[in-house]
Amino acid sequence: MTFKRLQKFTMTAVLAAALPGYGFAQEADALNVDGEMIGTPELMAAACKEGEVVYYTAQSDGDERQIVKTFQERFPCISVSVVSAATGRLYERVKTEAQAKQTFGDVLILSDEVLAQNLVDAGLVRDWTPPSAAKYDETFKVEGKWYSGSGQLMYPVYNKNLVKGDDIPKSWKDLANPKFKDKFAFFPISVGGTSWMVYAFLLDHYGEDFLKELNTQSPKMFTTYNTVMLNVARGESEIGVSSSVNEYVVRVKQKAPVVPIYPAEGVPFVKFPMMLLEGGQNPSAAELFGNWYLSKEGQTALVNVRGANSARPDVESAPENPPLSEVKIWGLSNKVLRERYDGVISQVQKIIN
């Protein structure tokens, strides 16, 4: 018997003993995801015994439920309870549960790196190195703690029925064109980590004077990117800035007359840190689920359902989106982002209320 056959035999034997009623090949193959082994037979047996994982996510409830269907088809012994809320609310919930010594969540994904790192520093995040860790560049993870389980670009958009020819913005600087005064949909920095990245990008590339120019445009300020996109799609604004996730839904799924712009100077990439929570009641199921989510299969499901952007270079972009290799990406390391976070907020709030 060859080593590989012996290894497979051992794996299936372990699973058969732990999971009576499941076939050898079925359970062995479940752990092999596109050639990636996402766990050991022992981990899967323990995960199936727990039978559940509670997933706290800052992403859309409907999208996440569709994504996790693929996981549950692969692992029918584990149910996934999705709890979707805004990043700030999830952050406070995790802290409150920890203080009460009743942690109900097992896996968490946020849209704010600083808040994610605060949880790490508070000891509320488990050590975790998924099998696919090497697929994630150093800028998309804090090794052993969190990995970018999702991501989105932030870029300008316009309504193609209203903006044509030479008036179409090509650069971020074109947003300050007086033609778009009172016709520009934007957002305050207080929206969160995603909006922070946009303002930091604009300050780094054009300085405070450009923000002052933008402010004279009397932008319509919205607190969600959905409302930015709806405002542009309806023609109430001609241009705006939004996230790739919200723009994708409106453009591709709803067939609205909106077009994204990928300026040559770059677009911010916002990371969504995924982590396992310390004290979670289903540690094995959490690890198996997290490993799957970061696998090529999990990331492909994420991209195709949400139009999100994966930090894995071997995962293709969503249909009708350009490959990330063709887009100039801008971002900051977690260390630099945390050092600058409060300063950028203070700087922006002095210019734009």
Judge whether residue 6 has pLDDT over 60: no
Residues 137 and 163 placed together within one structural domain of the fold: no
Q: How many domains does the chain have?
A: 2
Instruction: Return the pLDDT at 34.
Output: 83
- Asked whether residue 225 is domain-assigned, the answer is yes
* pLDDT per residue as tens digits for the range 264-275: 999 999 999 999
Domain match, 213 and 277 both: no
pLDDT per position as a tens digit, 215-268:
999 999 999 999 999 999 999 999 999 999 999 999 999 999 999 999 999 999
Residue 104 pairs in a beta bridge with none
The residue type at 184 = F
Question: Does 8 share its domain with 140?
Answer: yes
* Dihedral of alpha carbons 78, 83, 88, 92, sign: negative
**Structural domain for 9, as ranges:** 3-149+272-315
CATH for 195: 3.40.190.10
| Residue 54 within a domain | yes
Residues 228 and 310 in one domain: no
Using DSSP's 3-state secondary structure scheme, residue 187 falls into coil
Same domain, 115 and 219: no
> Sorting pLDDT into bands at 50, 70 and 90, what band is 26?
low
Structural domain includes residue 321? no
Average pLDDT over residues 115-133: 97
Whether residue 240 is found in the same domain as residue 306: no
- Specify whether the backbone of 327 is left (phi greater than 0), alpha (psi in -120 to 50) or beta: beta
Residues 113 and 157 in one domain: no
Residues 137 and 198 in one domain: no
Domain assignment present for 171: yes
Instruction: Round to whole Å and give the CA distance between 54 and 81.
Output: 5
Task: Examine the pLDDT at 1 and tell me if it is beyond 50.
Answer: no
- Distance, CA of 309 to CA of 303 (rounded, Å): 6
Quick one: CA dihedral 250, 255, 258, 263, positive or negative?
A: positive
Q: Are residues 205 and 296 in the same domain?
A: no
Is 144 a member of any domain? yes
At 67 the pLDDT is 96
Dist. CA 15–CA 23, nearest whole Å: 9
Q: Is residue 320 part of a domain?
A: no
**246 within some domain:** yes
Residues 85 and 25 both lie in one domain: yes
The model's pLDDT over 29-87, given as tens digits with 9 standing for 90+, comes to 889 988 899 999 999 999 999 999 999 999 999 999 999 999 999 999 999 999 999 99
User: In this structure, are 156 and 120 located in the same domain?
Assistant: no
User: Residue holding tokens 């808040």?
Assistant: 115
Other Cβ atoms less than 10 A from the Cβ of 134: the count is 8
Residues 78 and 172 in one domain: no
Cβ atoms of 129 and 38 closer than 8 Å: no
* pLDDT tens per residue across span 158-167: 999 999 999 9
Integer angstrom CA distances of residue 217 from 199, 229, 277, 321: 16, 18, 44, 29
27: confidence class by pLDDT, cuts 50, 70, 90: low
pLDDT band for 28, please (50, 70, 90 cuts).
Answer: low
